[in-house]
Homo-oligomer: A and B are copies of this chain.
Amino acid sequence: MGDEFDERLKLTASTDVPAGLSASLEGEYDAGWSVGGGINGGFQLALLGQAMRATVPDKPDPITVSAGYLTASDAGPVTATTRILRNGGSLATVAGDLTQDGTPRLTALATMGTLAGLPVSELDRCEIPVPDLPPRDRCLSNELAPPEFRAVAPFMDRFEMLFDPRCVGWAMGQPSGRGMLQAWFRLPGGRQPDPLSLLLAVDALPPVSFDLGRPGWAPTLELTVHLRALPAPGWLRVRHETRVVAGGMFEEDCVVFDAADRLVAQSRQLARLPRG
């Protein structure tokens, strides 16, 4: 492994990975990545993305990745295994699993490619507005979250998040009921965003169910992320919203824009609504 993402993810690779049909990597989840019932789902996906990148190093970026969350993960050792299903032209399809104690926790399919090499078209456009976040000095830092919240979600301290004050009423028992959360987001220490860190960004904010007045753990059933462009250096803007709550589940759509006002990631997950 050995690229800088390792350090951030605290993955301790004990196996060299030749580019080939399958790979297995050993790592360790730090308890600091916990949130609610287990290790954060976006973090797990970024870890698996890292293993997928090691499997097809000439196609380093997950252009699409879809994950099924099987069982909550715990702090401790984790094994990532990957299989190349197809590799040709500019894209590869790679399957991957994260297991702990022999039990699969996360399984995913990714289309790997190279964001830096994508073509430009005269049809290029983005009809999704940049999140209308107030300036950062008028937003509320995750460091202001109540200690009891941070104790359940130590994971939040791994980032700098500056929340739109209009969507944090839930923290004071006054959810807006809209089902929307948005924030400025960056990695700590002035670290710049990269493609794998976008897999973290799409699942880092609290679930929008908080803003519906239903706090609590909202386990993800399925999460799909599309990476649409290489992120520019600087703060990201992340917006989550749900439009359909039905059958004890809600979809959470996320968009991530970079400092150049470009949409860099889109995601959708289906999650279980916490019990009322």
Chain B residues with CB under 8 Å of A122's CB are 276
Q: A144 at interface (Cβ–Cβ under 8 A)? A: no
Of all chain B residues, which has the CB nearest A228? B246
Q: Are B111 and A222 in contact (CB under 8 A)?
A: yes
Q: Which of A13-21, A125-133, A149-157, A191-199 contacts B (4 or more CB under 8 A)?
A: A125-133
Q: Closest 9 A-B residue pairs measured CB to CB? A: A118-B247, A66-B66, A127-B243, A64-B222, A119-B248, A70-B86, A224-B224, A68-B109, A68-B93
Contact A244-B263, Cβ < 8 Å, known A104-B85, A268-B268: yes
Interface positions of A from 112 to 147, Cβ below 8 Å from B: 115, 118-128
CB distance from A92 to the nearest CB of B (A): 10
Chain copies in complex: 2
Contact with B along A68-110 (1 / 0, CB 8 A): 1011000000000000011000010101000000001001111
Chain B residues with CB under 8 Å of A64's CB are 68, 221-222, 270
User: In the complex, what distance in Å separates the CA atom of A66 from the CA atom of B110?
Assistant: 10
Contact of A107 among B68, B71, B93 (CB under 8 A): B93
CB distance from A247 to the nearest CB of B (A): 3
User: In the complex, what distance in Å separates the CA atom of A93 from the CA atom of B95?
Assistant: 15
Q: A232 at interface (Cβ–Cβ under 8 A)? A: no
Contact A247-B104, Cβ < 8 Å, known A64-B221, A212-B123, A224-B224: no
Contact of A245 among B93, B123, B226 (CB under 8 A): B123
Of all chain B residues, which has the CB nearest A248? B119
Chain B residues with CB under 8 Å of A119's CB are 247-248
Interface positions of A from 52 to 77, Cβ below 8 Å from B: 63-64, 66, 68, 70-71
> Mind listing 18 A-B residue pairs with CB under 8 Å?
A64-B68, A64-B222, A68-B85, A68-B109, A68-B110, A70-B85, A109-B109, A119-B247, A120-B247, A123-B213, A123-B214, A123-B273, A126-B243, A126-B244, A127-B244, A224-B224, A228-B247, A246-B263
Of all chain B residues, which has the CB nearest A116? B247
Q: Are A107 and B124 in contact (CB under 8 A)?
A: no
Chain B residues with CB under 8 Å of A63's CB are 221, 249, 270
Of all chain B residues, which has the CB nearest A128? B243
Q: A229 at interface (Cβ–Cβ under 8 A)? A: yes
